[in-house]
Structure 1
């Protein structure tokens, strides 16, 4: 079969690789029809991520099931499905407690531990919990966003807003001398959300999905920060206030808009030290930083700074399985805003060109056709 293989920094080669086979009873083999190029793929492509060479890239894909193992019960041969970006066993302690992002048995697709889906065929471990059906009211192109970027963008924003609302519930009970009976839950219709100022740092595909989530959930003021004009225009069209990195005095604008406090929450989607430092500087004391950027280095602030600001910090890979249904609901309700999200569809044979374009910000979102 043909596959896009990582050969080293800035080198993707489409070459012949063996067609995958069933290895475990819970596996499925998928005939890929569409595969996505994600910002996370660029970490290896740019040489920022420590990895070996020779593996097949890609963790966003959909297609038709060709073969299933004897332990696969939810799906059948010939069914069109999409895959979540990393397999989930649903049997380890982490999966059973809702932390599917830390499954002990499910490495990400497109890594040195598991070949990805930028290929004609891909093996799906734990198929019953890793695959999803495709609703009739969502076309295949948009459903590709549900493999990773939309639930990831949703997760980053949801974690920030959830924590803010929990803190607000706690404050209300303290002021009214009411003891907390249980951990409060986020209600998306709460009046307090209208008073929230949230900043989304980075408006690539994941960041734009986070911006849309913040608007959909009712956050009062949403700022979007990036250096690419096309991305900022997308954010503006979704209802955010765009700020241009390098041109606007972002810190001064946010401070002025919040009476000197800073943003209630910052969602950091970039994954580098500069973005995390800006997030720290923008967030108010007792605010929330939700970082879903794929970081490869140390933090740009120290423990004393964090202590002095009383920040809540959430970091890491999104737990897609627990939030999939709610994220899909928002995507379906706001499909019109995502109609121009995918800018390029290219054959897999042009993978090297696609990676170069995407790395240079010449494409919003690229899908490979097979």
Structure 2
């Protein structure tokens, strides 16, 4: 089969790879029809994430079930499904307590430990809990957004939502825009969106946020002026780098909330004393998608019109290297690969 393979920083290639087979009874094999390129993959693409080479990329995909293991009960051959970005066993202590983001058996797709779905076929472990049906009111290609970025943005905004609050969403990439829309829909008092790319800021404005541009606006001064000097009640940080987290700590008020869903790769740019002195409530890390999937899907489906221009590039799998290039250069909001 044809597959998109990571061969090193800025080196994505399409290669022939063996078609996957059922290994465990809980597996399913999908024939992939649509795959997405996610912003978190740019960390690997840019060489910022420590990893090996040779694995198949991709953790956002929609397809048709080609075969299932003997232990799969929810799904049958021929059904159209989408996949959550990381398998979940639903049997370990963490899954049983709602922390599916920390499943001890859940290895994210598109890593050196589990090949991803930017390929003609993909093996899905724990299919019963990792796959989901596609509701009739949502087009197949839009369900790519539900594989990772919308539930993650929803999770980040949900953790930061306070009544009559001022929330600042740092980063207006795909996940950041999903957080912006969630905060607006959940009725936050005022939502500010921060980025340096004008196209992204325009998208945030269309979703109902007030926008601030990095390098142009005096963001700390503006946030202080609209909060009587306190600072923002909550920050959703989706950038995943030191400057983004530093700005989050600077902008948030004492006893405020920082919800960081960015894929951080380095040490943190603030001290324990700073966090202590502000009594910060900091929630960091991978989103627990399974517990919020149903409620986030409803919000997404009810607001599909706001995502009409979200997918900007639809290209064949064979042109995946070009897709990574334009996405890395901020020339695309969302890139999907068609098979």
TM-score bin (small chain): over 0.9
Deviations 1:130-180 (A, max 9, x none): 00000000001211100000000000000112xx4xxxxxxxxxxxxxxxx
Deviation at 1:212, TM superposition (A): 0.2
SS in 2 for 1:225: strand
RMSD of aligned residue pairs (Cα, Å): 0.5
Return the alpha-carbon distance in structure 2 between the equivalents of residues 21 and 9 of structure 1: 29
- Which among 255, 263, 267 is matched to residue 224 of structure 2? 255
Q: Which runs of 5+ in 1 are unaligned?
A: 165-192
Match in the other structure for 2:63: 63
Tell me whether 1:308 sits opposite 2:274 in the alignment. no
Tell me if 1:297 matches 2:266. yes
Secondary structure of the structure 2 residue equivalent to 1:8 = coil
Structure 1's consecutive aligned runs of 4 or more residues displaced over 2 angstroms after TM superposition are: none
Aligned to 2:121: 121
Tell me how far 1:240 sits from its aligned partner: 0.2
Shift of 1:345: 0.4
- Structure 2 CA distance for aligned equivalents of residues 336 and 272 of structure 1: 31
Mapping 1:192-271, distance limit 5 Å? 193=163, 195-271=164-240
Secondary structure of the 2:336 match is strand
Once residues 213 and 141 of structure 1 are traced to their aligned partners in structure 2, the CA distance between those partners, rounded to angstroms, is 20
What is residue 81 of structure 1 aligned with on the other side? 81
* In 1: Cα distance, 2:179 partner to 2:213 partner: 17
CA distance in 2, matches of 1:197, 1:291: 16
Q: Name the CA distance, whole Å, in 2 between partners of 1:286 and 1:105.
A: 35
- 1-structure distance, mates of 2:322, 2:310: 19
Aligned length: 339
The equivalent of 2:325 in structure 1 is: 356
- Are 1:343 and 2:312 an aligned pair? yes
SS at match of 2:7: strand
- Deviation by residue 1:231-275 (Cα, 9 ceiling, x = unmatched): 000000010001001110000000001000000000000000000
- For 2:250, the equivalent position in structure 1 comes to 281
> In 1, Cα distance between the equivalents of 2:5 and 2:303?
35
Counterpart position of 1:188: none
Corresponding residue for residue 179 of structure 1: none
Q: Distance in 1 between matches of 2:325 and 2:309?
A: 21
TM-score by length of 2: 1.00
Q: Distance in 1 between matches of 2:49 and 2:29?
A: 28
Which has more radius of gyration?
1
Q: Is 2:23 the counterpart of 1:54?
A: no
Any stretches of 5+ residues in structure 2 without a counterpart?
A: none
Q: Give the TM-score taking structure 1 as reference length.
A: 0.91
